[in-house]
Amino acid sequence: MGEESSVPPSNSWADLDDEEDGKVEFKGLNPTANSFNPSSSTNQQQKEKDDAPVASLLSRISGLSTNPNSSEQEQVSPSSPSAPSAPSSSTSTRPKPNTSNPLFGRALAGVKTDRPSTSSPSPASPNASTSTTASGSASKAKVELIDNKEEKKESKMSAFDNGWDEPPASTNGNGFEDKKDGVSDANMSEGGLISNDFQVEVKLADLQADPNSALYSAKTFEALNLHPDLMKGIYSVGFKKPSKIQEVALPLLLNNPPKNLIGQSQSGTGKTAAFTLDMLSRVDPALLTPQAICLAPSRELARQIQEVVDKIGQFTEIKTHLAVPGSWSRNQRIDKHILIGTPGTLVDMLSRGTRIFDPKQIRVFVLDEADEMIALQGLGDQTVRIKKMLPVGVQNVLFSATFPDEVQRFAQSFAPEANKLFLKKEDVTVDAIKQLYLECDGEDSKYDALSALYDCLTIGQSIVFCRTKATADQIANRLTSEGHSVASLHGDKQSGDRDEILDGFRNGKTKVLITTNVVARGIDIQQVNMVVNYDVPDLGREGDFRPDIETYIHRIGRTGRFGRKGCSVIFVHDDRSRDDVNYIMAQLGKPMRKINAKNEADLEQLEKALKFALKGPN
């Protein structure tokens, strides 16, 4: 405690490199990383088409809804959580969410309907607190819940030309607003993308430190004093300036002595590059052994992270090893600097003592999708086992777009005395992702609706999320037998096939991916402009099948990446799923617009919206 305020974010190679005979001696990407001394740390006592003819769409989708009232809805105030539902006609065996549960009520009470606009960082309150908000303007959240009583109301899709039910804010024709909700041109990032319009609450571990200090914000990559070879890497991937989370997280991550960090930022805002630059700055290339471990919940995400680290580090001597099933032969010694993988494989490696690598050499331990990686059920046990084998002074770095309250608490004991960057609840989802729900008459008509939407799905690229592997396969097989081109991906596929399927989708060979939660998190494919929640994500038996808000946020976050627009559609087919969608809306404080599959105007708007999204920033 106390050291950050007096230690400037020295960082790196500039101070370290000794130029001798015109030669730069490469000792490591961060000076103090080389003098790493685990026992010196005080913070470690404890221990992620084109024009699709709407007419044909309509003809294929017609007959979808047999409910005479299905195109209608009633507006219910979010402050009426217990708005009466019609008696459930659902045949689902899942228990209904308990809307009288205090959690439900609390969430609704927490929904903000009006937030003050703050287009610049809030001023420091001298000596008062080390918690502050880093920039962003507020958006208004108005939630119209779906009413199972189905009282009549006109369809709400608008006739604005961009399909987003909002007047185009700019006349520049690029599909991105110049000004909206107080966001000024100054907030536009280069290339015309919408800037990250959200607030990050910064809580520094050092209670005396001033989070508004310039030391804790880097408006340029140059200001970070990164090694020139890393700067070359950053430029080569086309990054011009740090994103909001990078701006705030990087100075904290690179500061010395290393401090733990728990960082939350919306999907698609650049968390990967933040921890990548930290790892690349802290390993010593001369030491041929793993010095940083990055864990992710899926092989697909681990592969993607490895690609990012390799690209940004391409001008350095630093090498990476992918630690996922099939990428390592037993007893093979690892002499690469950074290990990126899934927990099972890491546990396997570490269970062989120091024969594979010496865990005591690890300086940085990164958990991407950290809330999932430390969750009590699932991967948490393995992650904790790995952490216990690492040296006391390791820098723990936890990133995710979501940190539910209970996981936040555990995260703080996992990464003690961490600097923390948290989002306000209403800022967790990306505003540029338009959230819709589609009324279907029953479980069976969901497939008909999806099939009818196929042309829309292929305007750009789409991911369809299902609850089970079996559903994903069934849908994919049916669509394929009807002549549509889709791929399915889930955990029962062979590793090699999984890699091939995702690569095919990534390079645009496949336009529609039918999948499970295996790619719900982290996967970054910028062309994805539509996400379909064929099934409402739920918490499974252990969670009483309640809607899984975090998974919903991550699923829809596969679109609308880094300022792009996107669209998500969730299928609603019975009272239960209507309740679930109401719950999601209430929790997120964000409205979802209804699409009536039988309403031509709605479908036209959806199509327009998707085409508009596809135009991208240009």
Ligand X SMILES: Nc1ncnc2c1ncn2[C@@H]1O[C@H](COP(=O)(O)OP(=O)(O)OP(=O)(O)O)[C@@H](O)[C@H]1O
Does the protein bind ligand X through residue 121 (CB under 6 A)? no
Does the protein bind ligand X through residue 187 (CB under 6 A)? no
Does the protein bind ligand X through residue 527 (CB under 6 A)? no
Strand partners, 180: 183
558 to 587, contacts with ligand X by CB under 6 A? 561-562
Closer to ligand X by CB, 15 or 190: give it.
190
Smallest distance, Å, CB 306 to ligand X?
13
C-alpha to C-alpha distance for 38 and 33, rounded to whole angstroms: 11
Q: What single-letter DSSP state applies at residue 45?
A: S
Helices 549-556 and 575-588 pack at an angle, to 10 degrees, of 80
419 to 438, contacts with ligand X by CB under 6 A? none
Q: What single-letter DSSP state applies at residue 338?
A: E
Q: What is the 3-state secondary structure (H, E, C) of 50-69?
A: CCCCHHHHHHHHCCCCCCCC
Smallest distance, Å, CB 574 to ligand X?
30
First vs last Cα of the chain: how many Å apart? Answer: 47
Does the protein bind ligand X through residue 557 (CB under 6 A)? yes
Cα distances from 363 to residues 3, 373, 394, in angstroms, run 19, 19, 5
Does the protein bind ligand X through residue 522 (CB under 6 A)? yes
Buried b (16+ CB within 10 A) or exposed e, 319-340: bbbbbbeebbeeeeebebbbbb
Smallest distance, Å, CB 595 to ligand X?
25
Closer to ligand X by CB, 133 or 189: give it.
189
Closer to ligand X by CB, 246 or 383: give it.
246
383 to 412, contacts with ligand X by CB under 6 A? 401
Does the protein bind ligand X through residue 265 (CB under 6 A)? yes
Smallest distance, Å, CB 287 to ligand X?
27
Smallest distance, Å, CB 189 to ligand X?
7
Query: Rounded to 5 degrees, what angle do the CA atoms 136, 137, 141 make?
Result: 125
Size of the site for ligand X (CB under 6 A): 19
**Candidate ranges 64-72, 132-140, 264-272, 435-443; the one touching ligand X (CB under 6 A):** 264-272
**Candidate ranges 159-167, 198-206, 291-299, 556-564; the one touching ligand X (CB under 6 A):** 556-564
Q: Which two tokens stand for residue 436?
A: 């819709």
C-alpha to C-alpha distance for 423 and 249, rounded to whole angstroms: 13
The secondary structure element, H or E, covering residue 556 is: helix 549-556
Smallest distance, Å, CB 482 to ligand X?
32
Task: Build a one-symbol-per-residue string for 230-249: x at contacts with ligand X by CB under 6 A, - elsewhere.
Answer: ---------x--xx--x---
Within 10 A of 223 (CB to CB), how many other CB atoms are there? Answer: 16
C-alpha to C-alpha distance for 482 and 441, rounded to whole angstroms: 22
Closer to ligand X by CB, 421 or 603: give it.
421
Does the protein bind ligand X through residue 313 (CB under 6 A)? no
CB 459 within 8 A of CB 68: no
Footprint of ligand X (CB under 6 A): 239, 242-243, 246, 265, 267-273, 401, 522, 524, 526, 557, 561-562
